[in-house]
A = this chain, B = another copy of it.
Amino acid sequence: MQKIKLTIAYDGTDFHGFQAQTRRDATIRTVQSVLEESLERVTGHPVPVTGAGRTDAGVHAKAQVVTFESAGAVPVERWPRVLNHRLPRDVVVISARSVPPSFHPRYDAVAKVYRYTIDTAPVPDIFTRRFCTHFTEALDVERMQQAARYLIGKHDFTSFSAARAQVSNRIRTLRKVDVWTDGTYVHFLYEGNGFLQHMVRILTGTLVEVGITERQPDDIPHILKAKDRREAGRTMPPEGLTLWKVKYS
């Protein structure tokens, strides 16, 4: 057996997230299930897939990483072509390579990068609409950049994670939080060693509340300290969020 690492991209709009789910008898369309179906059609047997991150329903990926075990019938470099022929148009395999059997896409990742994009144009652009959140209130980018600086570093991000998330350690390190504009778009880029459930969407929602002057940039340290979800801002909708990159050492 050979372990194959795929880099894949997907338009999350029509997926119930990355991870395969069973809900009674219904088939839920997830990225993992669609990939596993294509792999089964190629190989003739079930092929479980492991992903680097479980993106939520509606969240996209520019470069998600997944692995699976291959019996070797398909040469490594042929996998993108073989799978892209079978996959629906909203998932694409960008590249494939062979990795050691011990490689794990989630545990071996040293950093993940997420991007959140808001379109502030009066009317959303039809060509980018699936990948942006439309938000027309005036955003003060400099204020958001000031607030973003307080988020960089090692912190307990309890206030910025879904209250129901089942995880004991909520300490994460953010290496980078960038906010910039490009025409009518406002982009937020986060690089960290790990992210809690809804963390990027709550971080962005809190920065947005700073941007519309509902909050002050220096509210951020207090929100972090409170370790209480209710202290942070709104959870932004999923459509503006993209898993941008997964980094390995």
- Hey, which bits of chain A sit against chain B, CB under 8 A? 9-11, 60, 62, 80, 84, 89-95, 123-131
Contact = CB atoms under 8 A, between A and B. Distances in A.
Is the contact region of chain A dominated by helix, strand, or loop, or is it mixed?
A: mixed
A151 to B, nearest CB: 26
Contact of A131 (B62, B90, B91, B127): B127
10 contacts: A9-B125, A11-B126, A11-B129, A60-B126, A80-B123, A84-B123, A89-B129, A92-B126, A94-B123, A127-B131
Contacts of A62: 126-127
B126 A9 contact: yes
A126 B84 contact: no
A123 B93 contact: yes
A123 B128 CA distance: 19
Nearest to A10: B126
Contacts of A125: 9
A92 B84 CA distance: 31
A60 B130 CA distance: 15
Contacts of A9: 125-126
Contacts of A127: 11, 62, 128, 131
Nearest to A121: B94
A126 B8 CA distance: 10
Nearest to A125: B9
A120 to B, nearest CB: 15
Contacts of A89: 129-130
A128 to B, nearest CB: 8
